Amino acid sequence: MGEEIIVDISAAGNVNLETRGFKGASCAKATEQIEIVLGGGQKKTKKPEYFAPATTGQRTKLTF
């Protein structure tokens, strides 16, 4: 499974972000710009994979 960001937007505009398929903190990089455009009202939950070490050679998102 590839890396995926799931964004759930409620009827009233509340946003919940979830990442799938990421290892380590690379998910935070991947969602950074989305969080910026939304302004900080969204909810984030860190899954266990966040705390797993990134695998060697893993693509890391540096900029958006």
Partner 1 sequence: MSHTTTIDAVEIKDLNALRAAINELKSNGVECDLLENAVPRAYYSNQQGMNTPADLVLKLHDSRYDVGLYKQDNGAYQPRCDLWGGDIARNLGVQEKGVDTAQNALGKLFNTYSIHAVTRKAVQQGYRVQRVAKENGAVQLRIAV
> Under the rule (CB under 8 A), what is the footprint of partner 1?
2-15, 30, 33-34, 37-41, 61, 64
Which residue lies nearer to partner 1 by CB, 4 or 46?
4
Contact yes or no for 30/5 (Cβ under 8 A): yes
Closer residue to partner 1, CB minimum distance, 53 or 62: 62
C-beta separation of 35 from 64 below 8 A: no
Min dist CB 42 to partner 1, Å, is 9
Residue closer to partner 1 (CB basis): 10 or 55: 10
Structure tokens at 34: 């989305």
